[in-house]
Structure formats: structure tokens, C-alpha cells
Structure 1
Amino acid sequence: MSRLYDTVEPSVIDDDMLHKAVEEQGPKEEAGRIAKAEGIDFADVKSLRLDFKNILKIDNLWCFDSLTKLQLDNNIIEKIEGLDTLTNLIWLDLSFNNIEAIEGLEKLTKLQDLTLYNNRISKIENMDCLPDLQVFSIGNNELDELENVIYLRRFKRLKTLNLNGNPFCKVCVQEENPEDGSEAVYTENQDYRPFIIAYLPSLDYLDYRLIDENTRAAANEKYHLAIEELTHNEEVENKKEEERQAKEKEHNLHKAAYVENMDGPALFHAMYTEDAEGQKLADMPGVDEMLVVYKEKYVATCHQIFEYGLQEHERRMEEVNQFWDCIEEAKRENKEMGMKQINQFMEYKKRLFQELTHLTDQQVLDNKITEYNKRLQELWDKLMGLELQLVDQLEEATKDFERNLSDLVSSFIENCQGHISALRDLENIHHEKLLEISIVTLEKVVKNELDEEIPEDLRLLFVDKDTIINAVSSSHDIHLLKIDNREDDIVTRINQWMSQLMTKIHEEEEVKRNRMRVSEINNLIDHLREEMDTLDLQLGYN
């Protein structure tokens, strides 16, 4: 699979190559001359052909974020990379290169047509991110395991597949024999085509040949038992994956509400995980029954926090969504008013330009141009006025939103702290009871009146009063610390969320939008002024 030009010095994808390619493939004649003079923004390019360039590495394509079609065939590319910004790519041709592995496609989620024909690929993999794949060509590579093609079953929209020219398409009927100089003899693998058709039921074309119903029926009959087993296994795995995703979605919701793992005994158990003394004290006579009651009340309070957290999360999200709806509505109305002003000016400009081409009186011509520039300035004033009006409107809406959201967050924190105080109260009550039992047990141990056998590690705590009190206090401190940490976690995270959201709204969303809008207005005015200047020069020349 070597290329005739492998010995030529590799090329680099640089600005010169890209500009040249864009110009060659762009508008022709007068339109091409104008485009070249004004410059072509890479961000506007939809299709790009870089074939037969002796390119070794894919690089410097980050500006082409509107690209839908990219042709990189017949180069010496060894690795699929540098494509992460091309998120709108639909068609990609990397045929006739030196690629050894399928990789680097994670961001190309819109890809429908992928050509990797004539490379050095030995395994079909790393394509899970391409749900819309419809056409896939990977013929003339080094695929030697027919079972590897089963990987393509996940692409339900795949209609056209080319695998021809891979090792698994043929079988060896005679081995190479150096002694008599005979070469290995291969023939078509009779299992290849039926196997592919049976295992990939969505296909319409295989190796550029239409799959007729008789061929499909014969293939399904041949492999029906294996397909039935595979389908069953897939259904089982799909169900497991759906359950996993549902649990993950549910956990993410709980996390967003800051109450993950609060719908159960997780926090209660966490108190004892690092509490060695508490685990020993749990073996004291009478403590087990007390722990049952303590746990029930503790878990019930945690559940109250959990339910409240979900309820308040829903209220906050409703407030956030209403805010964004309000913002979008304000921007839409403002844009409509701006477009009305622009359209009115464009109608005036169209009539004026037609009129100017027939004028011969220079004074009248100058007056018309002066009037045009005056009205152009008025357009700028109106558009900028609308933008300032929108800025004030959005600023007021943001202030109201921030005030409302701050109230919701403060209320949430206050109520959560109230519930968590109830957890502390339960822990304090449990601590007092545990301390009482410990003192009573100590007295019985000292007097040798303890009826029940206790573990040796627990007995070592009953050396004297200070030892057992320290053990109970140590356990209590660990429990309170766990409760405090959970409270701090909730308060810190929701405050961070609100701070980050408001920063995004103020700085990232509004400032960025305002700058972009002002730039758009100025660019429009400059363009309209240049159009008049160009027409003025043409009229003067004539």
C-alpha cells in the first residue's frame, strides 16, 4: 500500500496551503476576484479538498468550524488527529494514506460518510461517537478477523459498506512452498458475504453491490441460530446499559440538587466508617437496640433533606429557565426591530443606487451621496440605540433574576441547615445515652457483674472512667465532623453554582453578546459606506 510519492518531502498544512486550496475551490472569474480581494473567512468554508498534497500530519484546521466536507485522500497521513474542532463535518475522505488505527473521531458526531479505503488498518474500533454513520468504506486494509465486523451492528443507519480487498475476503487454498517456488493461492471466502449480510441487517449495499432479498434470506437462514443468540445477548446488555444510564441520570439529578446519597443510610454509615471506637462501643449490652432507633430517626431526617433538596432544585431550574426564556424573547424582539430599520434602509439604498446610475448632474449626485451618508449615520444611531435599549433591558432582567435566585438559595441553605441541626440533635441525644450506658457498663465490669461476654477490644476500653469517656467523646466528635462536612459541602457547592452562573451571565453571555452586536453594526455600516464609495468611483470613472 505504499504511495509513489512516499519519497517526496512531506508537506505541512499551513496558511499558504489552506489559502491556496480555498481560492482554487472557491468562486471563479469576477466573483473569485472579489472574494480574493476581500479575503475568504475560513470559518465560512463548507468544503475543502487537500488531496495529493503529500501531507504527513493533519493540523491547522481549527478555523474551519463550518466545514461539512473534507477530502484528505492520497496523502501520507499516518494518524487521524487534528479534527476535534470540525464538529459539523458530514463527509470525510482519508483513503489512500498510511493510517494504522481508527481514532481521533470523538468530536465528529455528525459524520455520515467516512472513507478509510486503502490504508493499514487492522481493526474496526473507536467509532461509537458516530451515531449517524450511513456510508463506510474500509476496503483494501488489513482486516483479517471477520468477527470484528460485528462491531458495526451498533450503527443502525449504516446502509453502504465497502470491505472488499481485506484479508478476510479470501481464504488460502495452497500454502507458499519455498522448496518448489510455488506461491500461496487464494480464493474468495464463501462465508464472507453471507456473514456480513446476516450480521448487519441494516445494509442495502455491500462492496458497491445491492443486496437482493434472496441473498439476504439465504444469509439469515445460514446464521439464524448465531444471530438469535447474539440478539438475545445484545438485548440483555442494552437493558443493563439503559439501567446504568438511568441510575447515572438519577445520581446526576441528586448531585445537582446537592442531596446525593441522602435518600438512605449513606451518611449514617459514613459516620461509623472511620469511627473505630464507635464500632467497638456498638457491642456494649443495650447499644444495638438504641442504634436501631437512632438510625431510623437519622435516616428519616436525611430523607427529609433529600426530598426538600429535589423540590428546591426544581424551583431553581424553573427560575433559571424562565430567565433564559425572557432573555431570548427580549433579544428576538430587539432583533426584529433592528431588521425592520435595516430593511427600510436597504429599500431606500436599492432605489437610490438605481437612480444614481442615471444621474448626470454632478451637484445632484453629490447631494444624493450626502443624503445617503446622513441616512446611514441615522441607521447607525437607531441600531446602536436599540442595542443600548437591549443592554438596559437585559441588565434589569438580570438584576431581578439574581435577586430571586439569591432568595431561593438563601432559603434552601437556611432550611437545609435546620434539618442538619436536627441530625446534630439526634447525635447529641445518642451520645448522652451512649455515655450513660458506658458508665453503667464500666461499673459492672469493675465489680465483675457483667452478665454478657464482650469482645476483648471493647473490654480494653473499660480500664478506667477516663478511657471509656474519651472513647465515647472521640466517636461523638467524628460523627459531628461528618455532619458538619456534609453541611459545608451543600452550602459551598450551591453558593459556587450561583456565583458561576451569575459570572457567566454577566461576563461571558452579555458582554460577549454586546461586543459581537456592536461589531456587527459597525461592520454593516462600514460595508454600506464602502458600497457607496465603490459606486461613486465607478460613476466618476464613467
Structure 2
Amino acid sequence: MPLFIDENMLEEAIMEQASGDEEKRIRNQEGIQFNEVVQLSLIFKAIGRVDHLWGFTSLEKLELSNNLIKKIAGLDHLLNLTWLNLSFNSIEKIEGLESLRKLELLSLSNNRISVIENMDTLEKLDQFCIGNNAIGQLDDVLYLRKFKNLFSLNLSGNPASKEEHYKLFIAAYLPKVMYLDSKLLDKETKKKAYMKYQIALEKMGFEELQKAKSKEAVQNQEAIHTQNDFVNFEKFLNGCCPSESMLKDDPEEETLRSVPEMAEVMEKFESQMQELCTQIITYSSAEHHRREAEINSFISVQSAAMKDYKKKVSEMLQQNLQRMMVLLQESDPDLPKKEIISQPCNSLIEKEIHVSETEIMVKLLQISDPDLKKEKISLCTDEISQLLPSLMKMECLHISQIESTIKLLEHYLSDMVGNFSETVQGIFIQCRDVDDEYYDKMRKVAVATLETVAHEETHTQDDFIMLFKDRYAVMDALETGHMNHLLKIDDRETKLLTHVNAWKVALIKGIQDKELIGNRTRITDCHRYVVHLREQLEEWQKYPHFDRYYL
């Protein structure tokens, strides 16, 4: 019969894993603090449902294998978890892992899972065990391509692992995986896998690149507009600026409002403050649209610059490959032209190029004369060597252009923020003047009311009589209210101005950081592509003849 996790089970498990008598004695004396536990083992407990783990906020390693668990749940609060073992259970679906962003090892072996899914947030995952489940097709494993740190994978015992080219498929489509089913994938296997699936891999890589670019573009737009919306002060001031909140915490507010003359002064004060707050909101809205237009203009310029840059890079790569093609064609003008189109593994290229490195390698294989082949490879190597400096020069020009655009945006936004701050400060000065005027009028009415109460005998409105028989209590209430108003005005002004300046700094820094990452990625891509071409030449020159390779 399935059991549920309770405090007794947890405490017993913690005591069982205590390292020695002294640790057990200390835990018995001081009590067990769940939030200090970093490892927890609950194996062979006949657990049917995961529960009562919300207090284990420091937990890093959780062992739940060999139980009766049917559903992954109850792990939301384990934000520091890096190691999770749920093997040998009855789980049918991968779910409930969204919060485990630090997870590095996940074992789901010996369950009933048929689909690898719902793991998108596990960006740090580097070891994944899902052996002896019901993963049916090799294509089901392609989901794991998104995990860039994954180096160990166990799929043994699944129907997919019994397919003919299982090992080569995994080696090709998951190139970062070093260990498959606890065995090392050697370089020779990876080379064979790449050769077998090269065209399909390049096509898939190109499609994934396009999807990633589209997703990145949407995310960048959303991020910038979210940051821009951060300074939409209509939302920031909503519920904060209306004048009613200025009076609600005043001492004796209800009693003072019972005096008709004071009620009139208070209503006028509320009306004046509401008008000033409306001015801030209206002005903020107008400024929000101005800022939005400026940022949209920046995004447009930035997008156009990137599009032009990618076009130039594609043209440069095409020209480089075309020159190599001409060099090879000169070796034998009668060689048949093969229309082999593939996509180089480079994130800078948006469209298919008309001459690919695959076609160049085929041309090399068609050269039967070893000396001529060596000469052509040397010439191609020279062409490749000239490519990297040209790409780096283009990248420097591009990043310089982007930096100038960012500086221009920062200048415009600084002017906007400065003008906004100056205007808003002026309105807050008016708020203080209105409050000073309100305080003076209330004091005058209070003095008159005190004199009236002192000369009249009345037994009605007890709270009113008790307050206005004490001059100091009345004046103290008014003074306290006045000081509270000024503090609230100062606080709101400080928050508002701090808010807008912080927004500008965060926006510019976010854009700069994004461009820095993009710059490093593009430089890495350039180096990687050049290395890729060189490796291709080195690899293919091992094969002396086209027929021998294909036979």
C-alpha cells in the first residue's frame, strides 16, 4: 500500500543518514532543521506521492528511487536541487520540474515514460538517465538537442535503443554527449556519425538556427518593451498618487472631518492634490509614448544594421568558397558540376549559399593526382587563412556602428529623463505648497472651533468634545498629519525620480550586455567556422580518391 511522506518519515531518514553518533546526538538535542539539510534519501519507502518537502530549501541531492510514485510533483520549492533520482517508480509522464533550474543530474530510469518533454527550464542538465522506459523512436530523442551541457545519456532498454543505427544517430544529433549508456563515444564513432548524417544535420541545424533567431527577435522586442513599460508611470503611480491616501492615516481624521469648516478644507485639499497627481500621470503618459517611439526607432536601426551585416558576411563566405571552387575547377575543367547545397555550421548566415564546403570536398575527392591534390589543398588553406581577418574586420566595424547607435540612444534618453525629472519636481513643489496652505487653514479653523467648544456646554458627539477640549491634542493631530503628508510627498518624489533613472541605466546596460554577448558569439562562430573548414580539408585529404571513399 502506497505511503505518504510525513514529518516522522523525514526525521527518521535524516537521522539514518547522519554520519556518526556525535551528529545524531546533536540533532537529538537541538532538533532537526529541514532548511539546513542538503541531502535526503527516501529509497524503498513505498512512497506513493511526494509531499512535505517545502521546508528543504537548501536541499541539493534527493534520492526517491524504488518507490511507488506515479506522478512527479511536490518539488516546486527545491530551488537548489542539483541531483534528483526518481528511478524504479511508476511514472508515466515527465512533469513538475519547472522550478528545478539548477538541476544537473536527472534519473528517470525504469519507469513508464514514452515521451521526453517538459524539461525546457533544466538548462544546466548534464546527466540524464531514462533507460528501461518506453521511448519508441530515435526521433523522440531530438528534444535533448536543446541541452547544451548534456554529456552523459542513458537510453538502454528503450525500444529506440534497439534501432539499427542507434549509436551513430545519438553521436550525430547529440554531438555534446560523450557517454552513451555508460560507454564512451570515441572520436571515430563521432566521425562516422557525422559523415552518415551530415546533410540532414546541416539542414536541421539551419532550421534550428532560424527558429532560434525568430525566438530571440521576439524575446528582444519583449524585453526592451518590458523595460520601457517599467517606466510607464501611469502604472507606477496607480494607487500611489491619489490624494485620498494622503489623509487616510491622519490622526483623528474622522473626528476632524465632522467639523463642517474642516470638512470643506479637506475636500478642497483632496481636489487640489488629485489635480496635481493627474498632471503627473498625464505628463508621464505622454513621455512614455515619446520614449517608446525613441526605442522603437533604435530597434529599427539596430535590426537594419544587423541585417546588412549578415548579408555582407554571407557574401564574404560565398566569395571565399567560390574562389576555392575556381581553384579546384582549374585542376580539371571537364569535371562534372554537382549541385550539392548545404549550410555551413555558422549562425551568421541567414540563407543557403550556392557553393558549399561539401561540394568543395567532393571536388577534392575527384582529384586523383596526389601532388595536384596536395597543391589544391594548400591553395584552399591559404584562402581559408585570409577569411578570418576579413570577418574580424567586418565584426569590428559592425560593433563600432552599434556602439555609436547605443550612445546616441543613451543621449536622447538622458535628455528625456532630465526633462521629466525637472517637470515632475516642479509639480511636487506645488504639492508641498498645497499642503502648507491646507495646514494653515486647518489650524485657523481648529483655533476657532476650540474657542467655540470652550464657551459652549454640549454633551453630544463625545469624540469631538473630548478632542476639542484638549488644545494640544488638536494641534498635535494637525501637526502630525502635516508632517506625514510632507514625508509621503518626499517619498513619492524620490521613488519616482529614482525609478526613472534606474530604468534608463538598466535599459542601456541590458542593451550593451546583449550586444557584448552577440559580439562574443559572432567572433566564436567565425573562429569555429574557419576551424570547421580546416578540419574538413584535413579529414577529406585522407581519402585519396572519390570512388574509394564511396565504395
1: CA distance, partners of 2:433 / 2:228:
29
Letter matched to residue 266 of structure 2: L
CA contact (8 A) 1:261 1:267 kept: no
2: CA distance, partners of 1:301 / 1:453:
41
2:443 is equivalent to residue 476 of structure 1: no
1: CA distance, partners of 2:249 / 2:229:
25
2: CA distance, partners of 1:265 / 1:488:
13
Letter matched to residue 450 of structure 2: L
Q: Structure 1's 57 and 262: CA in aligned 2 closer, same or farther, altered over 3 A?
A: closer
Shift of 1:417: 1.6
What's the secondary structure of 1:474's corresponding residue?
A: helix
**Aligned 1:439-518 pairs, distance under 5 A:** 439-446=447-454, 448-449=455-456, 455-507=461-513, 509-518=514-523
Shift of 1:350: 3.5
Show CA shifts across 1:396-453 (max 9, x none): 111111111111112112211211221111111111100111112122222x148x98
Q: Which residue of 2 aligns with 1:305?
A: 280
1:77 to 91, 106, 117: 91
Show CA shifts across 1:89-121 (max 9, x none): xxxxxxxx879xxxx97989xxxxxxxxx9xxx
**Aligned 1:203-282 pairs, distance under 5 A:** 256-260=231-235, 267-282=242-257
CA contact (8 A) 2:443 2:478 kept: yes
Show CA shifts across 1:116-146 (max 9, x none): xx9xxxxxxxxxxxxxxxxxxxxxxxxxxxx
2:374 is equivalent to residue 398 of structure 1: no
User: What is the percent sequence identity of the aligned residues?
Assistant: 28
Q: Which residue of 2 aligns with 1:284?
A: 259
2:308 to 318, 330, 333: 333
1: CA distance, partners of 2:482 / 2:255:
13
Letter matched to residue 260 of structure 1: K
Q: Over aligned residues, Cα RMSD in angstroms?
A: 4.2
Q: Unaligned 5+ residue runs, structure 2? A: 1-67, 74-88, 100-110, 122-133, 135-226, 329-359
CA contact (8 A) 1:272 1:279 kept: no
Shift of 1:374: 1.8
What's the secondary structure of 1:312's corresponding residue?
A: helix
Q: Structure 1's 458 and 434: CA in aligned 2 closer, same or farther, altered over 3 A?
A: same
2:376 is equivalent to residue 371 of structure 1: no
1: CA distance, partners of 2:460 / 2:94:
67
Shift of 1:341: 0.6
CA contact (8 A) 1:383 1:521 kept: yes
CA contact (8 A) 1:264 1:302 kept: no
Q: Which residue of 1 aligns with 2:369?
A: 360
2: CA distance, partners of 1:55 / 1:273:
54
Show CA shifts across 1:20-65 (max 9, x none): xxxxxxxxxxxxxxxxxxxxxxxxxxxxxxxxxx998889xxxxxx
Letter matched to residue 315 of structure 2: K
Letter matched to residue 526 of structure 1: V
2:533 is equivalent to residue 528 of structure 1: yes
1:385 to 393, 406, 418: 393
CA contact (8 A) 1:283 1:454 kept: no
Structure-2-length-normalised TM-score:
0.51
What's the secondary structure of 1:380's corresponding residue?
A: helix
2: CA distance, partners of 1:521 / 1:287:
76
Shift of 1:253: 10
Equivalenced residue count is: 322
What's the secondary structure of 1:259's corresponding residue?
A: helix
What's the secondary structure of 1:376's corresponding residue?
A: helix
Q: Unaligned 5+ residue runs, structure 1? A: 1-53, 60-74, 86-96, 109-117, 119-251
Q: Structure 1's 338 and 56: CA in aligned 2 closer, same or farther, altered over 3 A?
A: farther
CA contact (8 A) 2:234 2:281 kept: yes
Show CA shifts across 1:187-236 (max 9, x none): xxxxxxxxxxxxxxxxxxxxxxxxxxxxxxxxxxxxxxxxxxxxxxxxxx
CA contact (8 A) 2:231 2:503 kept: no
